[in-house]
Amino acid sequence: MPTLHSKILGEGQPLLILHGFLGMSDNWKTLGSKYEEAGLQVHLIDQRNHGKSFHSTEFNYDILAKDIKEYIAEHNLSNCIVLGHSMGGKTAMQLACSYPELVSKLIIADIAPKFYPPHHHEIINGLQALDLDVITSRTEASEELAKYISNAGIRQFLLKNLYWVEKRKLGFRFNLEVLAERMEQIGENIEASAVYNKPTLFLRGDKSEYISPLDNDIIKSHFPKAEIKTITNAGHWLHAENPKEFLEKSLIFIRN
C-alpha cells in the first residue's frame, strides 16, 4: 500500500492537518510553522489524489480515513489532534468516529456533517479546459482559467498545483480525472450512526454558508462535545483569510 506524502515540523504532541478539495499540504505551511512554534509536532499531509501523494481510482471518506489511520500507525503516533478543512474536515470527522482511540481532539474548519450538493463544476470545467500541452506558464494558465473562474485568489490557489513534469511540460499534482468523476462523493456525509465523544471544535467563517446555525443540532448529534466558534472577516478559506484569529481560537482549544 503506498504511503501518504507529508512534511513534519517540530516536536511534541502530533497535530495532523488535512487540506481541502484540490488543495495540498503546502497550503498550510505558514500556519503549520505557527503551530510548530506553539510546541506541537505538525504533520502537513497530502491526501490521496492530491499534492505529492499517490493517485488512485478509489476515493471516498472511509478510504481517506483509513489512509490517515495507516499514516498514524506508520509514524507510530498517539494522542493525535486532527485538524481538517472542508474535504479534509470530512476525512477528519470520519477518522475520529471510526477510530476514536487515535484522536484526542478534533478541529473542523468550515464544514458540517451533512451532504453538500456538487458545486465545483465551473472549477472542474475550467481545469479540464486547460491544454497543458500548449500552456507553458502559470500566467498563461491563469489567463485561460479566468474564462471560467473570475476570482483571482481561487485561480492562484488552484494553480499552485501546477508543476514541471519534464522540461516544457506542465502537469497538475492532483488527479483531475478521478476527482472530476468523484465530485458527488466530495459532498457525501459521514455515516449516519457516526459519533465522536471527545472534545471537538468547529470553526466557521462568518462570510461562509458552509455551516449555518441550522446545522448546530446535526453537529451535536455526531459530536456531543462540540464547540462552534466563528472566525470574523472570513469565508470558506478562513485559515487563509484570517489566520491570526484561526490560530488563536484553535490554540485555546488545543491547550484547554
CB 123 within 8 A of CB 145: no
> Any catalytic annotation for residue 177?
yes
Q: Which helix (H) or strand (E) holds 171?
A: strand 169-172
Is residue 236 part of the annotated active site? The answer reads yes
Asked if 62 contacts 93 with a C-beta cutoff of 8 angstroms, the reply is: no
Kindly state the helix (H) or strand (E) to which residue 98 belongs, with its residue range: helix 87-98
* Contact between 27 and 160 (Cβ < 8 Å): yes
Of residues 208, 236, 239, 241, which has the active-site annotation?
Answer: 236
β-partners of residue 108 are 84, 202
Residues in the chain: 256
Cα separation, 164 vs 215, in Å, equals 42
104 annotated active-site: no
The residues pairing with 172 across neighbouring beta strands, listed in sequence order, are 162
Choose, from 37, 177, 209, 248, the residue flagged as catalytic.
177
Q: Choosing from 53, 86, 142, 208, which is the catalytic residue? A: 86
Q: Which helix (H) or strand (E) holds 247?
A: helix 243-255
Active site (catalytic) residues: 86, 177, 236
